[in-house]
Structure 1
Amino acid sequence: MSDDSGQVSIEVGLLLHQVYTEATQRLNDALRPMNLASRHVTVMFLIRDGVQTQRDLVARLNTDKTGMVRVIDDLERLGYVTRTPSTLDRRVTILALTGDGNQALRKAQQHTKRVSAELFHAVSPHELDTLRSILMRTLAPSSARREGPAAN
């Protein structure tokens, strides 16, 4: 490992943060007329894809419970998400997208695709796929630690 590797790692980390910040700002600007932000859309995608409880969302997004309650409250107020008590465990609430929620998610997905296309316009599909692969490998150990030994 060269002496420059530490500096490169720091630079990569800063660049990742800058790209994340830029992408989030652009997406939030695009979603504002829908009274949504990127955090809402992320939760809606996960609910659509089968994450059904607040506890699962908190674990999946590595976030705090209070913030997640606010996001779910917002989505429920907009009519995009329902909360239903679990028939198996009354302490658990099952989350589901409503018809309006699915429609809003499709519209938000159009904004997401447009913002991504603008942000990554100078990156080839192959390079983007390589970046995705690298980031997934980088995150794999963290995901395994969060999910615990049962996930392995």
Structure 2
Amino acid sequence: MTSPADQLASRTGYVLIKLGEEALAAAERALAPLGLRAKHVNVLTLIEAHRLSQQQLSTGTGLDRTTMVGLVDDLEAGGYATRERDPNDRRRYVVSPTTAGIAALRAAEKVLDEVEASVFAGLSTTERRTLHQLAVRALAATRHPH
């Protein structure tokens, strides 16, 4: 007879959720000394190339507006981002990284590279690439079903 734990582990979705939880927990621990969380890094990544509105950031990250306002508040308080009224639409705020924000993002990227190397240490480079490609394809299919 199959144990309940084995039944759960037979579900790909369950295994991916658990893997994601492990990766996120490791990332949060590794980013803490930088004063950042994974969601902060996501925001900094999105605003590095383009000033974006808080609404665009919410859409880009899949986070609700209230959560996004809190994240931008954190980044602003840490000196990592600025929030200004959009000169083309005074109802909107646009968020931009500061020099310190870009430096923090570079440091965070190095930390996250190390985290991923650790989390996926049991896989070869080819296996990691394949896992990533399959996960991206599966995720895209959930967002754009045929």
1:23 aligns with 2:20: no
Code of the residue aligned with 2:43 in structure 1: it is: V
Q: Which residue of 1 is the match for residue 59 of structure 2?
A: 59
Query: Secondary structure, in 3 states, of the residue corresponding to 1:91?
Result: strand
Aligned residues: 139
Which structure: greater strand fraction? 2
Residues 136 and 61 of structure 1, relative CA distance in 2, 3 Å threshold: same
Instruction: Measure, in 2, the Cα distance between the counterparts of 1:91 and 1:141.
Output: 35
Alignment of 1:71-90 (within 5 A): 71-90=71-90
Q: Which residue of 1 is the match for residue 99 of structure 2?
A: 99
Q: Which residue of 1 is the match for residue 44 of structure 2?
A: 44
Q: Which residue of 1 is the match for residue 11 of structure 2?
A: 11
Residues 87 and 144 of structure 1, relative CA distance in 2, 3 Å threshold: farther
Instruction: Measure, in 1, the Cα distance between the counterparts of 2:144 and 2:50.
Output: 19
Instruction: Measure, in 2, the Cα distance between the counterparts of 1:49 and 1:8.
Output: 41
Structure 1 runs, 4 residues or longer, greater than 6 Å off? 7-10
Write out per-residue CA displacement over residues 30-75 of structure 1, whole angstroms, 9 at most, x where no aligned residue: 1112221111111111111436111111112222111111111000
Instruction: Measure, in 2, the Cα distance between the counterparts of 1:62 and 1:99.
Output: 26
For normalisation by structure 2, the TM-score amounts to 0.86
Query: Secondary structure, in 3 states, of the residue corresponding to 1:92?
Result: strand
**What is the RMSD of the two structures over their aligned residues, measured on CA atoms?**
2.0
Extract unaligned runs of 5+ from structure 1.
1-6, 146-152
Q: Is the 8 A contact 2:86 2:92 kept in 1?
A: yes
Instruction: Measure, in 1, the Cα distance between the counterparts of 2:134 and 2:49.
Output: 23
Instruction: Measure, in 1, the Cα distance between the counterparts of 2:144 and 2:92.
Output: 24
Structure 1 residue 77, shift from structure 2 partner: 0.2
Query: Secondary structure, in 3 states, of the residue corresponding to 2:63?
Result: coil
Extract unaligned runs of 5+ from structure 2.
1-6
Residues 21 and 140 of structure 1, relative CA distance in 2, 3 Å threshold: same
